[in-house]
């Protein structure tokens, strides 16, 4: 319940500050009112240095790439989980495209950022949608968040502050950045 309230508050702030091309919204599933997910979709802006390599793959010719981020709550681990999906504008999944996979990190994350280890990502089936998503595995998230809030333990129980910290630590390395104005102080 606290998670639902937190993403509602965050979503209202994020919509106002959305950068051009991206959109935030909350996804609901028919018949399952408790299973809310915060969703962010944006086109991928490919870096110049990657263009020549990606163009060698026929499937990527003249097709824009869309990234979809989903924040779902794991009842098993009692933490938020980041899911990601990449597809062409026509809706074809890129997870199987070898050239895309090889350029995954350099395309989505600028070289200046420190990439997370590849083993941090795995592919799972979305529980409701039944289709593949990349997942940052949640089994260590609770420990990580407790460490981060060690000096201010009361904030661990503030859902909005928790989600902002979680987004900064876990989501932004994968290209899901929070606009600075969205962070309430």
Q: What single-letter DSSP state applies at residue 91? A: S
Distance CA 69, CA 67 (A): 7
Of 31 and 117, which CB lies nearer to another protein in the complex structure?
Answer: 31
Task: Establish if 147 lies at the interface with another protein (CB under 8 A).
Answer: no
Task: Establish if 157 lies at the interface with another protein (CB under 8 A).
Answer: no
Among 61, 98, 112, 154, binds another protein (CB under 8 A): 98
Does residue 16 have an active-site annotation? Answer: no
Task: Establish if 102 lies at the interface with another protein (CB under 8 A).
Answer: yes
Phi, psi of 48 (to 5 degrees): -55, -40
Of 10 and 94, which CB lies nearer to another protein in the complex structure?
Answer: 94
Number of Cβ within 10 Å of residue 68's Cβ equals 14
Of 11 and 126, which CB lies nearer to another protein in the complex structure?
Answer: 126
Burial tier of 92 (Cβ tally within 10 Å: 0-12, 13-18, 19+):
exposed
Task: Establish if 99 lies at the interface with another protein (CB under 8 A).
Answer: yes
Instruction: Using the rule CB under 8 A, give the single segment among 62-70, 98-106, 109-117, 155-163 that binds another protein.
Output: 98-106
Task: Establish if 41 lies at the interface with another protein (CB under 8 A).
Answer: no
**Nearest partner of 140 among 108, 116, 158, judged by Cα:** 116
Phi, psi of 6 (to 5 degrees): -65, -45
Task: Establish if 34 lies at the interface with another protein (CB under 8 A).
Answer: yes
Min CB(112)–another protein separation in Å: 24
Residues numbered 59-88 forming contacts with another protein, rule: CB under 8 A: 75-77
Of 44 and 129, which CB lies nearer to another protein in the complex structure?
Answer: 129
**Nearest partner of 75 among 142, 130, 25, 120, judged by Cα:** 142
Residues numbered 126-145 forming contacts with another protein, rule: CB under 8 A: 126-132, 137, 139
The CA angle 174-53-92, to the nearest 5 degrees, is 60
Min CB(15)–another protein separation in Å: 26
Distance CA 60, CA 65 (A): 8
Residues with a catalytic annotation lie at 139
């Amino acid at each position: 319940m606290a998670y639902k309230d937190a993403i509602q508050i965050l979503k209202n702030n994020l919509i106002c500050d959305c950068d051009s091309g991206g959109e935030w919204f909350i996804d609901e599933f028919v018949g399952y009112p408790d299973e809310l997910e915060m969703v962010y979709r944006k086109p991928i802006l490919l870096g110049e240095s990657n263009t020549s390599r990606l163009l060698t793959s026929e499937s990527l010719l003249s097709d824009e790439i869309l990234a979809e981020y989903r924040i779902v709550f794991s009842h098993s681990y009692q933490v938020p989980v980041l899911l990601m999906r990449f597809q062409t504008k026509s809706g074809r999944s890129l997870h199987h495209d070898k050239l895309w996979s090889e350029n995954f990190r350099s395309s989505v994350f600028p070289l200046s950022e420190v990439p997370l280890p590849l083993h941090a990502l795995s592919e799972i089936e979305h529980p409701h949608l039944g289709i593949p998503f990349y997942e940052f595995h949640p089994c260590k998230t609770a420990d990580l968040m407790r460490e981060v809030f060690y000096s201010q333990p009361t904030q661990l129980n503030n859902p909005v502050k928790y989600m902002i910290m979680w987004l900064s630590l876990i989501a932004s390395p994968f290209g899901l950045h929070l606009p600075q104005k969205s962070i309430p102080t």
